[in-house]
Amino acid sequence: MRRTSALALAAAVLFGCGNSAAPLLIPVAVGGDWRRVATPSDRERLRSWRQTWQRALTAARRAAPESIAAQGALFDYDRALDQPIPPAGNYSCRVYKLGARQPGQRDYVDYPPFPCRVAAGEGGLLRLEKLSGSQRPTGVIFADNGLRAVFLGVMILGDEARPYPYGREPARDLAGWVERIGPARWRMALPQPAFESLLDVVELVPAG
C-alpha cells in the first residue's frame, strides 16, 4: 500500500496540448526515473539510437549532402554539451526528417520553423510541446546524465484536440534524446518514429 500510495502521489504530469486545454497524461515514477516510465519499445528505441542515426544520416547525405553539411553540429551524433535541458521559455523549432521509412518516401525533408514551448510541470520536470503544424510532438523531459536528457511523449496529428495518453497507442508514442549543441541551441533526436522517417531531429533555439 505504501509503494502504491507513493506512486500515486507522483503519478502524473498534466499539461495542455498546443493551444487546447486537453491534458496529456505522462506517468512520473518516484524520483523522475524515465526508465520506470518508458514502454519497452521506447527503451529499445533509445538503446539503439546510434545505429538508427547512422543509417538515417547516411541516407540523408546521399539525398541532400549540401543541406546536411549546412547544419553543422545539428546532425553530429557525437556532439553534446553540458546542460542538456533547455530552460523554460518560448522556442523556434525546426523539424528535419532523415532516412525514408518506406520505399518511395524521401530520405531528407526539412520544414520551416514552428513555435514551441518549454514550461515547468509537476515533479520538477519540464514539458516540451510543439504548438502548431500537422505533426506536434508533446511530452516531458527527464534528466538522464550531464550530457543528455530523455523526452517521452506522444505525436498529435492534424486538427486533433486531444492527445493519446502515453503508452496507450504505440504508433503515437515518442522517445528521444535531448542535447545542447551550442550556446543557445538544442536538439531533440527521435529515433524510429512511426511515420515517414528513420530519425526526426528537432532543432530548438530561443524565439525572438
Which tens digit of pLDDT belongs to each residue from 56-104? 999 999 999 999 999 999 999 999 999 999 999 999 999 999 999 989 8
Tell me the three cell numbers of residue 73: 553540429
Q: Please, where are the H alpha helices in the chain? A: 2-9, 40-47, 49-63, 65-70
DSSP reduced 3-state for 26: strand
Tell me the three cell numbers of residue 123: 515533479
Query: Which pTM value belongs to this model?
Result: 0.86
Which residues of the chain register pLDDT less than 50? 1-23, 30
Longest CA pairwise span in the chain (Å):
59
Tell me the three cell numbers of residue 201: 531531429
SS3 content of the chain, % helix, strand, coil (to 5): 25, 40, 35
CA distance 140 to 154: 10
Instruction: Determine the structural domain holding residue 103 and report its residue range.
Output: 2-206
For residue 173, which of 74, 40, 28, 47 has the smallest C-alpha distance? Answer: 40
The reported pLDDT for the residue numbered 129 is 92
The reported pLDDT for the residue numbered 29 is 52
At what angle are helices 49-63 and 40-47 packed, to 10 degrees?
60
Number of structural domains in the chain = 1
Element (H, E) at 174: strand 173-182
Tell me the three cell numbers of residue 42: 521506447
Tell me the three cell numbers of residue 40: 519497452
Tell me the three cell numbers of residue 99: 532516412
